[in-house]
Structure 1
Amino acid sequence: MRIIGTADADHLLTWTAVTEAIRDAHRLPQAEIGDMLLSRDGRSLLNRGAWIEGLGIALKSVTVYPDNPRRDPPLPSVQGGMLLFDEDSGAPTALVDGILVTKWKTAGDSVLGAKLLARPDSRRLLICGAGTVARTLIPAYGELFPDLEQIILWNRSTDKAEALAAECAGNDIPVTVATELAEAVAAADIVSTATLSKEPFLKGEWLSPGTHVDLIGAFRPDMREADDTLLQRAELFVDSRRTTFGHIGEIQIPLDAGTITPDDVLGDLHDLCAGTAGRSSPDAITAYKNGGGAHLDLMVGALIRRLVEAGDSRG
């Protein structure tokens, strides 16, 4: 069994390659998936398995410890690993660093959703959050949206947003910091949220016509980032109905309250990649919930394994 760490594969990947792998895998039979989430005192153990005919089998286990970055020395908030299995024999073939898979899967999922839903002439991106995911969204959106003219960061702790912006001082696309969220949202073409918020902070009344909203952060049943008005104003899409309905508060809480109905979700990545769903007009507001299911981990993990093995054969 091959052990693949970040140093083995990170340099081999591009956001274009990741989004193409996810798009191509959505042409295969739909995945069989299963999740198990354990939580205690705000910390979580998340286990996700997937089986895609023609691609393979994967099981990813990660811990989410939100306070880890505040340790001395700081630790990643998300840690874990993913096992890949051969579909024919059932034998384990690789153990891949979970941080590596999560990094490329999470942002890759979102930028693919944005590529399929956001207006092609989008010029201004607002990222809410200043943690690990926000850091990866900057190059991901920069690669998939080369016409972006500005990336704006907003975070409840402004100093963290300023520190991340300082890291990006040499970025091809200027990275600045906003202190007034409502104004930043109103001026944005794409709004991407990557926080650990339990309460909605992004208000639908702030959005301008034509905005695309990329909702990443809420991954537990008790978490939300967008308010009811946003979900009601937007044309709503998810990466997978099966991993968001019944699992993620961003969707399930308003479903339970009757704020939205299942029919209000107009499509998922299977529909978007097939071209059977999408934005209705340039002025429509679109919202995409990144649920990050195990099938996406498998798609990215299989790509990582292929690239590493291709490098081995060349070496």
Structure 2
Amino acid sequence: MFPANHKAPTRPNPRGSRVRRDLSGSWWNSAHALLDADRIFSVMSPADAVNALSSALVAGFDPADDLSRVVNPIDKGQLLLMPSEVGTGIGIKVMTLGRDNPERGLPVIQGSYLMFDGDTLAPTAVLDGAALTTLRTPAVSVVGIRPALERFDGPLRLVVFGTGPQGTSHVDTLADVVSEPFADVTFVSRAPENVGDDVTFVSRAPENVGDDVISRGSVVAAGSPELDAVLTRADVVVCATPAEEPLFSADAVRSDVVVIAMGSHSPGAREVPGALMARAQVVVEDVETALREAGDVVLAIADGDLSRDDLLLMKDVVRGDAELDPSRPLVFKTVGMPWQDLAVAQVVLERATR
């Protein structure tokens, strides 16, 4: 037994022990912001996200300089890594896409966003990745078409293919940036019986239409006569589905229609018909990214309906360097890029830590 006043002999610190103490949990908690979904949404509106993305482009960021996204197939879905450096900010989103999660009552998209200091490269914050994605995805779409909305004089008429979270979030984001309420919003569903509570399926019996139709929109079935009627009136068409074939015919929409195509993001899938791409001005985030991932673009080029030289860049549209023709359709094909998460996350962190 050692005496009560015994002291252990002093021994040199093992290699790296000081570093391990510096990286302890208490250091992490005191030096990092941990932002959950509620906090993110409390400091950032959809319009704020739109403005954050626009500001990054106006300030000179070129999406062509963005870091590469990595998509890894895994047993139950996909693992996505999306790193980026914008201005003085550095960040990476780590997300999983679980294909079986809806059957378990879980979200398809889950993950986190990790931010770093631009000078020291030390971690500075962790954000809820799904919440960040929910904000930035429709914001990207709206940034790409906002200059084209000037061609419409009155309240907008929207048609939205897809009744999931992306469909409704696109409506909410557009509503947050336009100056007056929509004339009408119509969702298109291939399975109306699966529509959630935030949209209402419009049957032939008017008494079945709920009160939320007024605030959110009505729903028609894909392929129905009602769909043909609303498409001919639509100012803006949002395609937010995993479809692999065109959702509508090219002659179903007006010559000045504005189309967002964001649901399909593989080179073999498309939501927009090639004939519409042929007569439209087509905007993409980045040419090389579009040629790798944007099936609407890849397939239209393969069919001879479009050429690489026809593509307009999102940054040029936002900066006013691209001339838009209001007599032609405009199609914005977006697949999502890492810089977009970081541009929004930087503003979220700044506001949350004031």
Inter-CA distance 161–183: structure 2 relative to 1 (3 Å threshold): farther
State the match for 1:51 in structure 2. 85
Of 128, 137, 140, the match for 2:173: 140
2: distance between equivalents of 1:198 and 1:306? 39
- DSSP 3-state at the match of 1:246: helix
Of 218, 239, 250, the match for 1:176: 218
State the match for 1:39 in structure 2. 73
Question: Is 1:21 matched up with 2:52?
Answer: yes
1:240 deviation in Å? 2.7
- DSSP 3-state at the match of 1:195: coil
**Matched length:** 305
Work out whether residues 55 and 302 of structure 1, in 8 Å CA contact, stay in contact via their aligned partners in 2.
Answer: no
Letter in 1 for 2:262: I
Question: Is 1:208 matched up with 2:242?
Answer: no
1: distance between equivalents of 2:116 and 2:234? 42
Inter-CA distance 91–17: structure 2 relative to 1 (3 Å threshold): same
Inter-CA distance 204–43: structure 2 relative to 1 (3 Å threshold): farther
2: distance between equivalents of 1:278 and 1:41? 46
1:40 deviation in Å? 5.7
1: distance between equivalents of 2:75 and 2:328? 40
- DSSP 3-state at the match of 1:84: strand
Work out whether residues 200 and 213 of structure 2, in 8 Å CA contact, stay in contact via their aligned partners in 1.
Answer: no
State the match for 1:276 in structure 2. 321
Inter-CA distance 64–162: structure 2 relative to 1 (3 Å threshold): closer
Work out whether residues 165 and 177 of structure 1, in 8 Å CA contact, stay in contact via their aligned partners in 2.
Answer: yes
1:120-269 superposed matches below 5 A = 120-121=152-153, 123-145=156-178, 146-161=180-195, 163-166=197-200, 169-170=211-212, 173=215, 175-179=217-221, 180=224, 181-265=227-311, 267-269=312-314
State the match for 1:103 in structure 2. 134
1:234 deviation in Å? 1.2
1: distance between equivalents of 2:255 and 2:44? 34
1: distance between equivalents of 2:297 and 2:75? 23
Question: Greater CA deviation, 143-152 or 172-181?
Answer: 172-181
Question: Greater CA deviation, 59-68 or 82-91?
Answer: 59-68
> Which consecutive residues of structure 1, in runs of 5 or more, have no partner in the other structure?
311-315
2: distance between equivalents of 1:4 and 1:242? 33
Q: C-alpha deviations, 1:223-275, integer Å up to 9, x for none?
A: 3211211211211111232432212322223334443211111x222101210
What's the Cα RMSD here? 2.3
1:108-119 superposed matches below 5 A = 108-118=139-149, 119=151
Greater radius of gyration (CA): 2
2: distance between equivalents of 1:216 and 1:184? 20
Q: Percent identity?
A: 23
State the match for 1:313 in structure 2. none
2: distance between equivalents of 1:6 and 1:101? 8
Work out whether residues 116 and 125 of structure 2, in 8 Å CA contact, stay in contact via their aligned partners in 1.
Answer: yes
Letter in 2 for 1:272: V
Q: C-alpha deviations, 1:167-201, integer Å up to 9, x for none?
A: 99457645111222333322211000111112222
State the match for 2:93 in structure 1. 60
Question: Greater CA deviation, 187-196 or 139-148?
Answer: 139-148
Normalised by the size of structure 2, how large is the TM-score?
0.79
Letter in 1 for 2:297: I
Letter in 1 for 2:79: L
State the match for 1:305 in structure 2. 349
Inter-CA distance 253–36: structure 2 relative to 1 (3 Å threshold): farther
